[in-house]
A and B are shown apart, each in its own frame.
Chain A
Amino acid sequence: MANSGIYTTALMDHNAHPDYKYEMDGATHTHEGINPSCGDELTLSLRVEDGVIEEAAFTGHGCAVSQASADMMADVITGETVEEALRLSQLFIDMIKGKELTEQDKIDLDEAAQLQDISHMPARVKCAELAWRTLDGMLRENADAAPATTE
């Protein structure tokens, strides 16, 4: 078979058998993301305790790229601090915009780093970004709403 491009074994596996696609009980954060032009809809839920993402899950529907990207993201951010999750989402969005990542960045993004080639497919960028933008929007919104802390 010829080159499968972005449709790697990992992507197809995450799409077909997502580990993090379920309704979460006891979520502390829930946020919806949509891509109107694709019909993609995603609801991302987190359970954050003491600044650490203890659990991440999503529901919704969309293309294989959006679904796999969401599942990869949930896997990467589980067990990370909110600050680290924000850093990772920014890394991912930078990567999709075409920015070259360091080897360490790629290791940090784990399988999600395989989606790098989407940067050459402008029509699919929004699919790959959906979950990450939803995460980013949710965490930033939450940070803005939180009471000011002294350092």
Chain B
Amino acid sequence: MTETTNTAASACAIADAAHAAATSATAPDIVCAANIAENPYKRDFPLLANHPDLAFLDSAATAQRPKTVLDAQRRFYEEMNANALRGLYRLSVEATEAIDVARNRVARFIGAPKAQDVVMCRNASEALNIVAKAFAPTVLEPGDEVCITIMEHHSNLIPWQQACRAAGAKLVYLYPDENGIITPEEMDAKIGPKTKILSCVHVSNVLGIENPVKELGRRVHEQGGYFVVDGAQSVPHVKVDVTEIGCDFLAFSAHKLFGPFGMGVLWGKDELLNAMPPFLTGGEMIDNVTEQDATWAPVPEKFEAGTQDAAGIYATAAAVAYVESVGIDVIEAREKALVAYCMEELGKLDFVTIIGHPDANMHHGVVSFNVNGIHPHDVASILDMDQVAIRAGHHCAQPLLTWLGVENLACCRASLAFYNDKGDVDKLVAGLNRVWSMFHGE
């Protein structure tokens, strides 16, 4: 290996060592992680260390970043900064190398067979727009159907409204049962020969439920359609493997995965990415340009027009490395324990109504609820006085809130990450008791 690639390579080696340590995670490690009275993780996150009294329960909106991610972003600018891809000098080559290393790491993390099928973009919304605006028009005909669920975040809903409108296709919704489960009968009724695309949120940002993506993918493929998965809320919480799921596209954001803002990932099947036209056009995404025409660079550059946020890509890889060093199985076990405790404690409050499945195992990091008769915005503002940060509102899922029929079309949401602990949940419960007593006396 030449000197030019040493920095990127050494960063990778460090992360690899961490990964090796993590993949040797044993059952006792998972048991320790599930002990929510202890919290060995908070110290990795400078913001949480700087706000020791804060109960941060809004990780589904954006997660906190570990020091390793912040350091990686800074290290890129201090040690590797140059415009990647086109440079013929050492630093630029090194920046290019850093992006390649990062892309490989992300690919491995999501089980992608080829690193070049990992397209780096701004966020999950942009990733889904690439599919809806560049891929969908190549397959949708008038009268075709695009199928989504009623629990989509607006980012996996509006692009399909637009795509259907442009193509003369129909947008069809899968509705879950009262517990949030999409039943086989519902799939039978909605997924058929007209279904050209099924795009589905993997884990709902309101209900926390994991949709049966393997089954949905199998069914739409049987009908000759394509399967898109919005992994924004699943990738940070459960093992997501594109090969195992059998999807055609997967989208997610880095900032919910403890990575930087402004970075997203679209993975697509090699043959689909190669066949579809680009989304954004301009610099870096071309092969050859003449006065009246242009040819495209190979995937993934074809979808990465303009100067890339190389530091952001590098930091995204650091976030993946961090998650791997903790271990996704450890993260899942701890979050399950946290959610179970949270639902058990909220269940003791007779003025709180939990939204979604009654079984805590069906909630992945998310517990939505309402305080009877009190507007969620009041609840959130009063909790804030006690340094409990939750989200309240429609959670960018207005059709879901409408379908749920909750008052004011809004609800409260506590979203937990593995860096939370029992104390955070206890603060939430104490805060909710205060909310109730403020409105109804002691």
Contact indicator B385/A127 (Cβ below 8 Å): no
| Stretch of A2-10, A47-55, A79-87 with 4 or more beta carbons under 8 angstroms from chain B | A2-10
Contact digits for A5-44, partner B, Cβ 8 Å, 1 yes 0 no? 1110000100010000000000000000000011110000
Contact indicator B377/A127 (Cβ below 8 Å): yes
In the bound complex, CA of A64 to CA of B408 (Å): 12
In the bound complex, CA of A40 to CA of B227 (Å): 37
CB closest residue in chain B, given A62: B375
Chain A-chain B contacts (Cβ-Cβ < 8 Å), number: 52
Report if A7-B438 is in contact (Cβ < 8 Å); known contacts: A38-B393, A39-B409, A121-B381. Answer: yes
Report if A38-B408 is in contact (Cβ < 8 Å); known contacts: A121-B381, A127-B377. Answer: yes
Report if A64-B374 is in contact (Cβ < 8 Å); known contacts: A4-B438, A7-B438, A37-B394. Answer: yes
Query: Any chain B CB within 8 A of the CB of A138?
Result: no
Query: Any chain B CB within 8 A of the CB of A61?
Result: yes
A interface majority secondary structure: loop
The residues of A that contact B434 with a CB separation of less than 8 Å are 1
Query: Any chain B CB within 8 A of the CB of A145?
Result: no
Query: Any chain A CB within 8 A of the CB of B386?
Result: yes
- Within the complex, the shortest CB–CB distance from B398 to chain A, in Å, comes to 9
Contact indicator A63/B377 (Cβ below 8 Å): yes
Query: Any chain A CB within 8 A of the CB of B410?
Result: yes
CB closest residue in chain B, given A6: B381
Segment 354-400 of B: residues with Cβ below 8 Å from A: 374-378, 381-382, 385-386, 393-394
Query: Any chain A CB within 8 A of the CB of B439?
Result: yes
Report if A39-B378 is in contact (Cβ < 8 Å); known contacts: A4-B385, A61-B408. Answer: no
The residues of B that contact A64 with a CB separation of less than 8 Å are 374-375, 378, 439
Query: Any chain B CB within 8 A of the CB of A65?
Result: yes
The residues of B that contact A5 with a CB separation of less than 8 Å are 381-382, 385
Query: Any chain B CB within 8 A of the CB of A148?
Result: no
Contact indicator A39/B408 (Cβ below 8 Å): yes
In the bound complex, CA of A40 to CA of B386 (Å): 25
In the bound complex, CA of A117 to CA of B148 (Å): 43
- Within the complex, the shortest CB–CB distance from B162 to chain A, in Å, comes to 20
The residues of A that contact B377 with a CB separation of less than 8 Å are 38, 63, 65, 123-124, 127
In the bound complex, CA of A81 to CA of B434 (Å): 41
Segment 103-142 of A: residues with Cβ below 8 Å from B: 121, 123-124, 127
Contact indicator A63/B375 (Cβ below 8 Å): yes
In the bound complex, CA of A38 to CA of B377 (Å): 8
- Within the complex, the shortest CB–CB distance from A2 to chain B, in Å, comes to 7
The residues of B that contact A6 with a CB separation of less than 8 Å are 381
Contact indicator A65/B378 (Cβ below 8 Å): yes
Contact indicator B382/A7 (Cβ below 8 Å): yes
Contact indicator B386/A2 (Cβ below 8 Å): yes
The residues of A that contact B385 with a CB separation of less than 8 Å are 2-5
In the bound complex, CA of A62 to CA of B378 (Å): 10
In the bound complex, CA of A127 to CA of B337 (Å): 37
The residues of A that contact B381 with a CB separation of less than 8 Å are 5-7, 65, 121, 123-124
Contact digits for B284-307, partner A, Cβ 8 Å, 1 yes 0 no? 000000000000000000000000
- Within the complex, the shortest CB–CB distance from B391 to chain A, in Å, comes to 10
The residues of B that contact A124 with a CB separation of less than 8 Å are 377, 381
Which of A2, A63, A121 gathers the greatest number of chain B CB atoms within 10 Å? A63
Q: Identify 12 new A-B residue pairs, CB closer than 8 A, beyond the known A2-B385, A62-B375, A62-B408.
A: A5-B382, A7-B381, A38-B393, A39-B394, A39-B408, A39-B409, A39-B410, A40-B408, A64-B378, A64-B439, A65-B381, A124-B377
23 contacts between A and B (CB under 8 A): A2-B385, A4-B438, A5-B381, A5-B382, A7-B378, A7-B381, A12-B439, A37-B394, A38-B375, A38-B393, A38-B410, A39-B394, A39-B409, A61-B407, A61-B408, A62-B375, A63-B376, A63-B408, A64-B375, A65-B377, A65-B381, A123-B377, A124-B381
B binding-site residues for A, Cβ under 8 Å: 374-378, 381-382, 385-386, 393-394, 407-410, 434, 438-439
